[in-house]
Structure 1
């Protein structure tokens, strides 16, 4: 199952296992069960502290659990955790085997203190780059707290469950049989949903902090670069981010970040955060800014309010809140989001195997999505608003060569249709003839660009008609001491490498401003 190189790497990791444990597999006569058995046999051959049993009685087959000898852990995988989930498997093996997690001690103690009874189920797809964060977080929680159980389920392998629960977006997380959440979550996000008092305690901690010299709002590439450059100047630096990594976390493949030939968004996001943590930077995660109160006088303190009621003050600010997926804003879209309306073809595509889907948008991201989906789904309908697609010629040529793709130009989506539970189709208008057409399908993938995350700044910082923060060549906004960087600004070409440069520039400008203020 595992090639020689992967076995060598895994063997080195498994040498860190200190506590013996067993893998209990539940198998049937199918090919996937034999594939899983081969994987588990490879794993147990690499460590004398891991044993394999094949007498499991789990109803989901193929599946397996990781059990400490005389221990109390309920951690399971239903499916074959390869692809993006192979890292989740390796971490689970190490943590069940006694190797400590790198998670902060505060979070570990909070997990251990949870009381009650929690049975989590996570549906994932092997091509989803957001799913491992959820799987790894819940696995760790199951290792640390006997009140918490977790099973990670490959939605593509257990299609009957996916259909019965109408899972149309991954990761989808169920707690005690009820939908708990969808999308990327780490330990802190999950704890915040379980612990209703966490927000108030968090706000209290933030309110007690002294004023910063530089406070960065946003933890994407621009925010990370700004934090590193500020910290290296030896000034008091803080980063308040809704999620560290920002839009990069939702990026599947990155091949144009100079000096890095190829990487994936979540991997780059982790590297950015690790780099920032090398310096004396106060990182405050899960903080969504809601209001900016500029200093009353130049040289005074700016105040940022957050949704949990907290306030932070700083001599200078760097706004780097990035952008989010642009929505169609048509009837039915909001109602059927994650019920057939999707934004990540890599994550959710496998859930639509053999079905009919539409891709909205004819730029590079839309055409790339249509090409990828065509290899999974039954049929793809691509709708482009303009009279021609905007994607690179090589992508258009590839798309037109596929037999299960239909392309409609001058097509404006007007309605998303559904039966109350899931998407059943869409209506589009032919912009040439003004005729309305209905397309029956099960999934809609929206790929029409980005919107700046600047709603909370209206009335404080000058924005252009697109909602972008207007900045000068130094990243300065119209408010003295308030700078901005990255995709939220008017800087053209929304690229990771440009955002990092913007962040560094804004930080240097903020430092120069502080010096001039004395």
Structure 2
């Protein structure tokens, strides 16, 4: 039995595992891959590299340090976390079961797809996700925010505050297709008056993401959208189970925030394991 199992190898999970290894805590990291969404590097033409703090670079450094320290990792997806004698039992999708006294869930979220031609080709090369991460790089540039509702309005406000010329889809409009490349995107929009071509510097996907909280469904309290509810110390409603990063109800879709939450979850897990 491990003292701690970290489920998820993105920014939050890697940070939690790094702190655990450095403390010489018996820890196991379980994830299909390392890096999470931070593995996807964005292409932003015309921008000076020193203006961009790339989350993927930070995550890669943590991963290299963990490999150097020789931490244990199990490659695979986790299907379920359930309560067991003296802790938790973690069942992998392949069927194996692992035991631990405490668990940190850091499985992140998955983006909703626009479902239009050109989406895959322009991903991170003209089509971006987090407005909070990239807004400052679009000063005096034109952007289209693809989505409806509060999230789209918040993304447009973030971009506008940073000096971008942000356009929301209007009522009755829908995005039909994307083409072009970084800094020169052609977006075809269809509305009541027909189709029109918009030439913009970038497009932001503002559809609501979905949390990867399935493994703890029924074990920890989730909000109405499925995000794991946590307190200010990353504790869930289930003692000994902690959550960090974009799987929680305080998700911010920023690497530095997720890394900080991962460190905080680890510290809370240590307090739990030591009975404090």
Q: TM-score, normalised by structure 2?
A: 0.73
Separation (CA, whole Å) in 2 of partners of 1:215 and 1:362: 29
- 3-state SS of paired residue (1:488): coil
Alpha-carbon offset, residue 251 of structure 1: 4.4
1:449-471: CA deviation from partner (whole Å, max 9, x where unpaired): 64322233322221112321111
**Aligned residue in 2 for 1:303:** 89
Separation (CA, whole Å) in 2 of partners of 1:361 and 1:227: 26
Separation (CA, whole Å) in 2 of partners of 1:219 and 1:417: 33
Separation (CA, whole Å) in 1 of partners of 2:77 and 2:89: 14
**Aligned residue in 1 for 2:47:** none
Aligned residue-pair number: 257
1:225 to 1:417, Cα distance in 2 relative to 1, 3 A? closer
Q: Does 1:479 align with 2:238?
A: yes
Separation (CA, whole Å) in 1 of partners of 2:160 and 2:138: 15
- Structure 1 gaps, min length 5: 1-210, 255-259, 350-358, 375-379, 401-406, 419-424, 430-434
Separation (CA, whole Å) in 2 of partners of 1:455 and 1:279: 31
Q: Post-superposition, which runs of at least 4 consecutive aligned residues in structure 1 deviate over 6 A?
A: 359-362, 365-374
The structure with more strand, counted as a fraction of residues:
2
Q: Does 1:324 align with 2:133?
A: no
**Aligned residue in 2 for 1:216:** 6
Alpha-carbon offset, residue 237 of structure 1: 0.7
Q: Does 1:249 align with 2:34?
A: no
Which of 71, 80, 93 lines up with 1:291 in the alignment? Answer: 80
Larger radius of gyration: 1
Alpha-carbon offset, residue 274 of structure 1: 1.2
Alpha-carbon offset, residue 238 of structure 1: 0.8
**Aligned residue in 1 for 2:170:** 410
**Aligned residue in 2 for 1:463:** 222
Q: In the alignment, is the contact (CA less than 8 A) between 2:81 and 2:88 conserved in 1?
A: yes
Q: Does 1:452 align with 2:211?
A: yes
Q: Does 1:390 align with 2:149?
A: no
**Aligned residue in 2 for 1:273:** 63
- The 5-angstrom pairing of residues 20-419 of structure 1 reads 211-252=1-42, 262-285=52-75, 287-295=76-84, 297=85, 300-328=86-114, 333=115, 339-342=117-120, 344-347=122-125, 349=126, 363=131, 383=146, 385=148, 389-393=156-160, 395-397=162-164, 399=165, 407=167, 409-411=169-171, 416=176
- 3-state SS of paired residue (2:261): helix
Q: In the alignment, is the contact (CA less than 8 A) between 2:103 and 2:240 conserved in 1?
A: yes
Separation (CA, whole Å) in 1 of partners of 2:63 and 2:102: 21
**Aligned residue in 2 for 1:132:** none
1:381 to 1:234, Cα distance in 2 relative to 1, 3 A? closer
1:294 to 1:245, Cα distance in 2 relative to 1, 3 A? same
**Aligned residue in 1 for 2:260:** 501
**Aligned residue in 2 for 1:138:** none
**Aligned residue in 2 for 1:103:** none
Alpha-carbon offset, residue 371 of structure 1: 8.6
CA RMSD of aligned residues (A): 4.1
Separation (CA, whole Å) in 1 of partners of 2:124 and 2:128: 15
1:230 to 1:367, Cα distance in 2 relative to 1, 3 A? closer
Separation (CA, whole Å) in 1 of partners of 2:216 and 2:194: 39
1:428 to 1:305, Cα distance in 2 relative to 1, 3 A? farther
Alpha-carbon offset, residue 291 of structure 1: 1.5
1:410 to 1:385, Cα distance in 2 relative to 1, 3 A? farther
